[in-house]
Structure 1
Amino acid sequence: MNKKTIVLGVCGGIAAYKSAQLASSLYKKGYDVHVIMTKNATEFITPMTFETLTHNRVSVGTFDRNFQYDVNHISLAKRADLFVVAPASANCIAKFAHGLADDMLTTTFLAASCPKLIAPAMNTGMLNNPITQHNIEICKKYGMTFVESDSGYLACGDVGKGRLAEIEDIEDAIESLLVKDKPLKGMKVVVTAGPTQEDLDPVRFMTNHSSGKMGYAVARAARNLGADVTLVTGPVSLRKPVFMDVVEVRTAIQMFEAVEALKDEYDILVKSAAVSDYRVERVSDHKMKKQGNQLTIDFVTNPDILAHMGQLKKANQVVCGFAMETQDLVENATKKLVNKGADLIVANQLNEDAAGFKKDTNVVTILTGEGITKLDVMSKEALGYEIMNRLLQILVKKRGIVC
């Protein structure tokens, strides 16, 4: 299998040093990374740094005489699966917007027909300048994708928006753009993820061990396959994925309300969050003090989001639920499939070595009305695609019947 080629453009700016981390990470993931630097970028970091990290020669000048027979900027433009510019200066963005090609980077960029990802980094005033904002909009109009700058303390001493986006966010955007097949394009997918928290008093709350990794993997897979994704997430330590709407909630009631508000919009709903079955009947206004060896708390039942959405779903909507069990996996998951009105249940056993909370792998059994399939151990990222592809098949069958 051929490696995918990523061209990484590096413009002048203090954030150029962060591009070395990006180049290194992409190389370690197996991409063929080719770096093109502007002359100003070489004032902040040397080409040799990138050559050491990518094992490819760095291009700087258009008229460099140390070249192969093929015209280098045209060769790279044709080979590229993705063109990333990080950091992108206001000057380079202006050139991209208006088709100016006066160095190796802008010449190759203009010649490339692959998807293009731009990560701006500059002073807040420059970024907020109406001219820069207009140039960004022009680039977007031509199909270029942007990873928004972060806010914080800038090298110039200002505080505001303009910092290069976190490398993890840029990589997330890259993974999204490199998936060429978009079978979910035009569809709306809602995913719930993570735990909920139910307050006991102003100090304590009840929760579970869910890390949100599985739900986030499903949401990224849906986005990468072209869907318009809304991620409804409980409190987790994971970075929020780019290019999707993220709704942050804490309690089961809040999650119920967030999902309920989307009941008429989604094509596919994936309920992977670990929602508390119960909440305290009355949250104490003050910290509960220790009173002997026993503490009595009255609980009430939380709304069953999966069952509620299963009852409300339309004929052309698909609902997926998750079942985590410690015993009688298939029996309990089958009951859930039938009783909750789900189209598909992803079941996993907590006490399996490769499954469970906080792990990067999972071992699941897929249950649908047509049968039961046990899958091998796989990463949660790979399982996200597996789940979405199976849900798409169900959706196609449903809509074939309806039509």
Structure 2
Amino acid sequence: MTTCWVPGADGSPYGVQTLPYGAFRRGGGEQRLGVRVGDLVLDLRGAEEADEILAGGALCAPTLDAFLAMGRAQWTTTRRRIVELLTEPEHQARIAPLLIPLSEVDLALPFTVGDYVDFYSSEQHASNVGQIFRPGQPLLTPNWRHLPIGYHGRAGTVVVSGTPIVRPYGQRRSSDGPVFGPSRRLDIEAEVGFVVGVPTELGERVPTGRFADHVFGVTLVNDWSARDIQAWEYQPLGPFLGKSFATSVSPWIVPLEALDHAWVPAPVQDPPVLDYLREDDRRGLDLAIVVEWNGTRVSEPPFAGMYWTPAQQLAHLTVNGASLRTGDLYASGTVSGVRRDQVGSFLELSWGGTEPIKLDDGSERTFLEDGDTVTITATAPGPDGSTIGFGDVTGTVTPAA
């Protein structure tokens, strides 16, 4: 594997095999773009202003929006140049001053979220929710194995990791009829998100084989959910207030090119899907996710087993002619495995609130209490036995306003 001259980068999940993009502020200054290498951030604006990287000025902007729209050829050229700058010793004297310790910066949302779509692509999660929400009925709805079920979410409440999560208000079902107040069953959903770079025209469809032409990279997502509000409102039109109050994302976007060694065969689909969802090379990503609740590791959801792939999700999202915009974010839906310690929501972990979870401090939980902190991290295999890191997505619950 290529050796990096940056101290601590080799052997790190954030060496030159990863190089995720983000945005930062230093000392309350203006927002700038950066790439993480080890525990440092490469100032991309400084690099482009010094003509070390040529990207038409896109890296001098406060967000990745213009860079995302430039497409794969530019993404590839820029990534190769960054690798050169960080591995070839003749660049060290010029580039080292552009490296800033992570401890000295505040991370920000690195792109403007266009539209947000949340899918429902884990068969195990869908089956678990079916048992909990619809006991005595079929675990999966009749359409589930024929199309990637999803809904359009609220893009304006997508927030960067570290943003406090205010407990939402809403209607809940009670034995005396609907009541109004703060959610009592606040939950998480551990998901994987995909950031769109290249847009499409209205009426254009994106086949599964063109996934990499449009998607720039991958980020971690926590789609916070108010299960009591959701259970009362979701039939017949689906989620609304129970999911629109906050969706947290990691501050780092891992480019697709960093994940060449993380693709694995996806589960066999039965029955066969319609032509527009078929893939010549059906692959999923081998991401190992970890969920921590107040510092206690409570679950390790495996992403490789997702029934619907990212390419199928994008194809379905656009098959009716819906256009893509730069900065569109679509998420996998909750990632859950077959074991209880592999589920991606506390609804499943506590089995609808009936089986409390004991944390390391001795306390017990079924759903989130005020002051609770949830952190989701993930890694993937990289070249030559290296590890790809995705940063973390963290949020702390604050009382209802």
Q: Report the TM-score when normalising by structure 2.
A: 0.27
Higher relative contact order (CA 8 A, sep 6+): 2
Higher strand share: 2
Structure number with greater Rg is 1
